[in-house]
Chains A and B, each alone.
Chain A
Amino acid sequence: MDQKKVDIQFTLNAQKTSVRIPVEMTALQVIRDVVGFKGSKEGCGIGECGACTIEVDGKAINSCLMCGVQLDGREVLTIEGLEREEGLHPIQETFLEHHAVQCGFCTPGILMSTHALLKENPAPDDEEIRDAVSGNLCRCTGYQQIFSSIKAATPVKDDSFFHTGDAENTLKKSQVFADETSSSMVLNGTKKGENNGEGCHD
């Protein structure tokens, strides 16, 4: 019952995940530092920017505000879980197509807010889109091309839009991401061209 470190189990990107964590840890820290998925970002640590947005039981939440232990038993989706076997998720595709990415730091959070929105309402009106994304700050884009990207993806007609893919393979891909690719970018840092970021995973 009372413990300083707590064992929790949850589903992360369709994969069963078990961790043992201190109580002070936020969900963001669990995902980034314990599991090793770096896609969710810390922009402020106090729920004021949305860069840490993940989906828990289908709802967009600021993972920096959630106590990590509260992930127990939940279904969690992070940016790493959007991509599918057959390629990018439609909303990732539309963000590329409509130039919604500049520095990219807010992008995972915005994609997660968008995914959660479209899951709940595949045909949102402009107001609803604005409402869903207002908790995600962006300093680069001025939001307009982000808005066009989301509009271009709606109404969602594709049933498999929210399919997270085969559990095994989804995690395998994400793990490769977290372990191999990033380490090859840093520890063996003499490769030409690695720092422009194109080297991973295309």
Chain B
Amino acid sequence: MTEMKYYRPETLEQALDFLDAHGARTEILAGGTDVMVDVRSGVLHKETLLDVSRLAALKKIEMTDAGLCVGSGVTLSEINTSPLIKKYAPALGKCSETFASRQIRNIATIGGNVAHASPCGDTIPPLVIHEARAVVANQNGVKEISMDAIAAGAYQSALAAGDIIVKFILKPREAGFADFQKIARRRALAISRMTMAVMADKDEAGKICFVRFSLGACTPTPHRMDAVESFLMGQNPTHELLRGAGTLLAEKMVEITGRRSSIIYKEPAVQGLFMRMMYPMVGWCEK
């Protein structure tokens, strides 16, 4: 059944014009890895696919005064091979290593991953720890939305019809320690049950002088865990400390999710993954 129309704008302005006129009836198409699945299952009821996959304005990875800018149309493969991202946002680079499959990484975009607002979006925790702002454009201009605000709920992005994410601005940091880890049911092509991203630095005494941490996939929307960060700040990262932070993390998670059946696993697992990811820091205070 031929229901939908297709429009491929040449410029971002053309895209915005179109969205201004038809935004509510338009689905933005970038990589297609979510959109085409929805088309197949018949849940997509939009008039037009707006193909932004070739808009140069969305494809840049660059360092500006504002920060590390990653275009919304940048693919996970491009993230994977970007020297800028490896240097200034290594957790984002790491998440691209385990993202779905190579075939999907070659077309899936960071913008699509965020806009889809799936709780399991792997790019989200790294964006959160870099205090990323999504630069969202519409016909009326440009606004910046924080990662906390961009997801209104599971699968509900805060974006309005007529909005398009242009890029993400990350606070770059060449952190001494940075990582992204996930738990899934198999080692490739698997939706994450739990993800975490961290970056941290130590001072001359080996104490934590900077830390950013985010938990993903087990809460409906992404969360930067301030309480955990505060707990860790200024401390020697001992095994004890990490255990304490993990316990606190679990508490905070349960506060958000409530006690559901999956908590039986997630409560210890979140502590376990936290310990596993953060453990390399334990050597700091011993030097």
Contacts and interface: CB of A to CB of B under 8 A. Distances in A.
Tell whether any CB of A sits under 8 Å from a CB of B in the complex.
Answer: yes
Interface of A: 1-6, 22-24, 26, 45-48, 50, 53, 59-62, 64-67, 69-70, 72, 113, 131-132, 134-137
A5 B51 CA distance: 15
B181 to A, nearest CB: 17
Given A65-B104, A134-B102, A23 B5 contact: yes
Contacts of A70: 29, 32, 51, 53
Contacts, number: 103
A44 to B, nearest CB: 10
Contacts of A24: 1-4, 39
B33 A23 contact: no
B2 A23 contact: yes
Contact of A60 (B7, B36, B103): B103
A67 B36 CA distance: 7
Question: Quick one: which of B32, B40, B77 has the most chain A CB within 10 A?
Answer: B32
B37 interface: yes
Contact of A4 (B4, B35, B107): B4
17 contacts: A2-B6, A3-B5, A3-B6, A4-B3, A23-B2, A23-B6, A24-B1, A47-B100, A48-B189, A62-B101, A62-B107, A65-B31, A69-B51, A70-B32, A72-B8, A113-B103, A135-B188
B209 interface: no
A115 B187 CA distance: 23
A102 B29 CA distance: 37
A60 B2 CA distance: 28
Given A67-B6, A135-B100, 11 more contacts: A4-B3, A4-B5, A24-B3, A46-B37, A46-B40, A47-B103, A69-B6, A70-B32, A134-B101, A134-B188, A135-B101
